[in-house]
Structure 1
Amino acid sequence: MKHFPIFLAVEGRGIVLSGGGDAALAKLRLLLKTEGRITVFAASPAPEIENWAAEGRLTLKRRPLAPGDTRDAALFYAADEDEAEDARTSAIARTDGALVNIVDNLEDSQFITPAIVDRDPVTVAIGTEGAAPVLARSIKADLEARLPATLGRLARIGKAFRKAVEVLPMGRRRRDFWADFYFNEGPRALEDGGEVQVNNALQTLLSKYENASDREGHVAFVGAGPGDPELLTLKARKALDAADVVIHDRLVTPEILELARREAVLVNAGKEGFGPAMTQEEINALITHHAAQGAQVVRLKGGDPTVFGRLDEEIEAVEAAGITWHIVPGITAASASVASIGQSLTQRGRNASARILTGHDMKGFADHDWQALARPGEVAAIYMGKRAARFIQGRLIMHGAARGTPVTVIENASRPDQRVIGTSLDQLSQDLDAAKVTGPALLVYGLNPRAAQAQILHNKQELA
């Protein structure tokens, strides 16, 4: 991030612009929405600028900018549409201590003006650091359509009422009050009776929340999916937005954690097979402790919480503590992995069932019905199989599995650094060692990547 987004206080402060043409007009239409003191330096200003000056909306100086003219300015815009003049005026402004923007010159500017969605006092700023202005305009158009024009009126009324709401304790009850106002009672009151009705609704709502007890703690067991934030469900996004505490495992990506509220407490309770880890008892205690304090807790697990996530143990601990809970399923690593290789877990004429297995359990490498799995056409998604690869390979071959049975290893499924390794049962452990797989990986037994499968079919046709 080369430009850090902030909102600069300009009320009563000087904003100076040099230029009187089209570039100056474009900036001034935006700047005139502020409460800054605007001064324009232009020897030949456009008629619109002259009209704004006549209306008292800005001060017009019909001459070029000179040293000292920007001494009290917070911001300066060089909009002369002349490279030499822009360089001269921006040098003056820098010397005087103003922040400088040179129109259409990102490299020499100290700040940039984003695309803005104006629902005063609610302002949405969209910046692309000059990389994609068309994209910024598209996002702006989308937000303009989605944000109701009444949003600004509600925000102004709410701002005036903030002092009264301080009678509510900081934290969840106060946040719930404002959420109720902006998304339920406020819009309804504004539609029914205008601003007078909105003020009445605020008073009624405040009385309701003053007399309410603090909300009881609750636990949401949420599936974070395989890692791509775009694969997170809408219900999971809502749970993260409401969470006071997020207790996550090591498979949850930073991009997904970024979606939690900024005020939320993030706790890494990650485990790694055969390595140092927080015990399950410690995780259970952590979940129940925060929920017992009245927090809305999200227990965030990679993939789906119902698949190898020790969900039952955590639910039992939560229920024993008398805490309510619910489950938000996520896209499993198995689904994301087979999707990434263009395959499906089941196929008519090949296999009517698919297995979801773990490579190791609490006692070590996990044993399964190897004889059944070794039959031709069987398909299995094997979790936690990296370290158990040689064990799995030996057991299957011992029970009659064909050595050429395809196995595909998907590392970091759905993420930008996803890697697909196509191998066979005979070469599985050797190819895994050679590939130096370090990220979370899932073994798909019985399936090739789609492209490889197409090549195999082509070769068979040539041999026939």
Structure 2
Amino acid sequence: MNHFPIFLNTSGRRIVLSGGGDAALAKLRLLMKTTAHISVFAPHADDQIKAWADAGKLTLIPRPMAPGDAMCAALFYAADEDAAEDKRAAAIAHADGALVNIVDNLADSQFITPAIVDRDPVTVAIGTEGAAPVLARAIKADLEERLPTSLGTLARIGKAFRKAADALPFGRARRDFWRDYYFNAGPKAFAAGEDAIQPALDDLLADHLMRDTRKGHIAFVGAGPGDPELLTLKARKALDEADVVIYDRLISPEILELARREATMIDVGKEAFGPSTPQDTINALLVEHGATGAQVVRLKSGDATVFGRLDEELDAVTSAGIDWHIVPGITAASAAVASIGQSLTKRGRNASVRFLTGHDTKGFADHDWKALAAPGEVSAIYMGKKSARFIQGRLMMHGIDPDTPVTFIENASRADQQVLATTVAEMEPTLTQAGLGGPALTFIGLTPRAAQTALTDLPLQAQEAL
């Protein structure tokens, strides 16, 4: 992020613009939504700019910029549509201490103006750092359709009511009240007429003041394999309401970004045969935060019910008398097998599939290797990368066909996903030589479809184009 987004208070401050043509008009239509004092320097101004000046909406000075013209200005826009004049005016404004924007010149601008969705006092700003203005406009158009025109009125009345709402305890109680207002009571009152909104607010506050303090709750949420688009709607809702998020090492940064900005984020990462947070510590954190009344999300990669030690955590919070619920997620095996164009079961090949772990609390995990080595069997092995040589040896000992296909899928569903196709006989040293660094699923008995194999050999940009 090269441009850090902020909302600048322009009330009563100066904004200076140099230019009088189409570029100046476009900027002024936006700037006049503010309560700033706007000064325009233009020897030849458009008739619309002159009309705005005659109406007292801005000050028009019919000459080019001169030193000192941008003194005390918060912002300056060079919109002369002439590179030399823009450069000259910008240098003056910069010397006068103003932040400078040169229209259509990102490299020499100190700030950029985003696309804006205006539901005053609610403002949504969309920026692409100049890389994709067409995309910013498309997002703006989408948001314009989604955000009702009533939103500004509700926010304006809600803003005036904030001091009264301070009677509610800080934190969860206040958030519940405002959520109820903006998404339930407020819109219903607006439909009856703007005059009905204030009485509805008074009634809503009285109702929330009478409510018991909300008890702590734990949501055990499956975050899926890493692609944020594979997160369920129920998981998104839980993250939006969480006071505390206790998350695993494999949760992608993109998913963590979806949590409330004010939420307390606690990393309890574990790594096979490496540094790990003890399970007892995780259990204690769940109980500690749940007991304070916090809404806690225990965020687990994949599906929370698959190799996630969920039962131990459920026992801990149940023993402490804390309520909980489980939000299923897409397990990594489902996402991984989809990426190679295969299915986990197939008529005439296998009527079942085994989900296995490559290691347990005692080391490499032992399984029914004879059954796994039978022809046509399909197994999805989680956390099996470090135990690959052990798995290979056990399968060979129990008579598996050495040419049985094996597929390793690293970082399933993510942008940096890699697919490695081999056979049982070549599992090692093929895996070691590939140097996969991320978490990987191992499929015994499955190989990528031919079309999918060709796709994974293409550069990422070409894959996205397809």
Instruction: Tell whether 2:385 aligns with 1:422.
Output: no
1:296 equivalent to 2:295? Answer yes
What are the Cα deviations for residues 79-114 of structure 1, in whole angstroms up to 9, with x where unaligned? 111111111111110010011111111111111111
Gaps of 5+ in 2: 455-466
Letter paired with 2:293: G
User: How far 1:276 sits from its partner (Å)?
Assistant: 2.8
* Partner Cα separation in structure 2 for residue 94 and residue 454 of structure 1: 55
Counterpart-to-counterpart distance in 1, 2:396 and 2:72: 81
- Residue 150 (str. 1) matches residue 150 (str. 2): yes
Q: Tell me the distance in 1 between the aligned counterparts of 2:87 and 2:451.
A: 59
1:33-432 matches, within 5 Å, as 33-194=33-194, 196-432=195-431
SS of the residue corresponding to residue 281 of structure 1 reads: helix
Distance 1:316 1:154 in 2: 44
1:452 CA displacement:
7.9
Q: Per-residue deviation at 1:207?
A: 1.3
Q: Secondary structure at the match of 1:63?
A: coil
Could you tell me how far apart the structure 2 residues matched to 1:139 and 1:392 are?
49
Q: Kindly state the Cα deviation for residue 275 of structure 1 after the two structures are TM-superposed.
A: 2.1
Residue identity opposite 2:165 in structure 1: V
* 1:443 and 2:442 are equivalent in the alignment: yes
Q: Residues of 2 paired with 1:44 and 1:390: CA distance?
A: 79
Q: Partner of 1:460 in structure 2? A: none
SS of residue in 1 equivalent to 2:101: strand
- Deviation for aligned residue 1:30: 0.6
Counterpart of 1:16, as a letter, is V
CA distance in 1 between partners of 2:85 and 2:363 (Å): 74
Give me the whole-angstrom Cα distance separating, in 2, the residues matched to 1:203 and 1:188.
Answer: 14
Flag the 1:65–1:453 CA change in 2: closer, same or farther, 3 A: closer
Q: Aligned residue pairs: how many?
A: 454
| AA aligned opposite 2:439 | P
**Is 275-284 or 46-55 further displaced after alignment?**
275-284
Counterpart position of 2:28 = 28
Give a deviation string over 1:354-375, Cα, whole Å, max 9, x none.
1111111222222212111111
- Alignment partners' CA distance in 1, 2:390 and 2:69: 78
What is the Cα deviation at residue 404 of structure 1?
0.9
Instruction: Report deviation, 1:18.
Output: 0.9
Cα pair 2:340 2:453 within 8 Å, conserved: no
Alignment partners' CA distance in 1, 2:452 and 2:108? 54
Q: Which residue of 2 aligns with 1:458?
A: none
Contact kept, 8 Å, 2:13 with 2:36, in 1: the verdict is: yes
Aligned-residue offset at 1:453: 9.1
1:19 aligns with 2:19: yes
Scaled by the length of structure 1, what TM-score is found?
0.96
TM-superposed CA distance for 1:442, in Å, is 0.8
One-letter code aligned to 2:206? S
Tell me the CA shift for residue 410 of structure 1. Answer: 0.7
Please report the TM-score for the alignment, with normalisation by the length of structure 2. 0.96
Deviation at 1:437, TM superposition (A): 2.1
